[in-house]
């Protein structure tokens, strides 16, 4: 399982603030948005779930 971020991300920074080990705001050329960094996602699962719940535009989800 890996967290993924959809195009609806508005780069608010909430996920990065909650779990900087996994989420990072990056300039994607056309827009700023959060990206998922390589990490042990199971180890950070609780914080990732917190970020998922806190995202204002529901841009974060788990992918198999």
Q: Which residues bind ligand SF4 (CB under 6 A)?
A: 5, 9-15, 23, 34, 55-57, 59-60
Q: Are 51 and 12 in contact (CB under 8 A)?
A: no
Which residue lies nearer to ligand SF4 by CB, 20 or 43?
A: 20
Q: Are 51 and 29 in contact (CB under 8 A)?
A: no
Query: Rounded to whole angstroms, how far apart are CA atoms 39 and 28?
Result: 20
In whole angstroms, the minimum distance from the beta carbon of 13 to ligand SF4 comes to 5
In whole angstroms, the minimum distance from the beta carbon of 52 to ligand SF4 comes to 9
């Amino acid at each position: 399982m890996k967290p993924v971020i959809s195009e609806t991300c508005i780069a608010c920074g909430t996920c990065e603030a909650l779990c900087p080990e996994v989420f990072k705001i990056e300039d994607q050329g056309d827009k700023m948005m959060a990206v998922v960094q390589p990490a042990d996602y199971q180890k950070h699962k609780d914080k990732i779930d917190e970020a998922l719940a806190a995202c204002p535009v529901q841009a974060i989800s788990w992918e198999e």
